[in-house]
Amino acid sequence: MADLLTLLLVRHGQSEWNAAGLMQGQTPHVPLTGLGHQQAAQAAAELAALAADGVAPGALLSSDLLRAVQTAEHCAAATGLPVQTTPALREQGYGVLEGRPSRELWDLVDWSDPHWSAEGGESLAQLHGRVAELFARLRADPPAPVVALVTHGDTIRAAQAVAAGLGPDAMPAVTPHNGTVTRLELAP
């Protein structure tokens, strides 16, 4: 289909808080680890290699959180594209839970309720809505036929649900690994 919009979703490389097992959410200042930079470089090389398959990105959008921006910088160097940041690609906000050890949160978070949110945070339904709004804008005015989006694990899961026409209660359970590229096709 000529009007198909291809999205290449890049999950940021490992951050210091990923390595420490801390809940990040929308905490803005968390940098990549050395391994995270390696993962980002590998994802960037994968984006650049897609040109040989005719799937070269023509635009590069990134979450404005540091770990994503650092990953996007690797992607920009590999593709020659400028990075445009947007808060629409941020991770789900976890409010007062951010910075706490993730293992402590399993009993505090209602993972089965897409409308649950921590104080000062964002529900999966709100994340899903944010991603759906971004995709509607991209469909209406695509910056290129193939767009690379550097983002976060829960945001990619929401993107997969939106692209499949599923609601926030049907988001995939599996989060892509750090530094991976997930391809989605959006019909007009």
Catalytic residues: 12, 91
pLDDT of residue 188: 75
- Pair of tokens at residue 126: 């709100």
| CA 17 – CA 15 distance, rounded (Å) | 5
Burial environment of residue 185 by CB neighbours within 10 A (0 to 12, 13 to 18, 19 or more): exposed
pLDDT of residue 112: 84
Kindly report the CA angle at 24 between 76 and 21, in degrees rounded to 5? 110
Output Rg (C-alpha) for the chain, integer angstroms: 16
* CATH number for the domain formed by residue range(s) 10-186: 3.40.50.1240
Residue (of 71, 101, 91, 92) closest to 83 by Cα position: 71
Residues of the chain with pLDDT under 70: 1-2
Residue type, 21: G
pLDDT in tens, 148-174: 999 999 999 999 999 999 999 999 999
**pTM confidence score:** 0.96
pLDDT of residue 54: 84
pLDDT of residue 2: 53
pLDDT of residue 53: 83
pLDDT of residue 106: 80
Domain ranges of the chain: 10-186
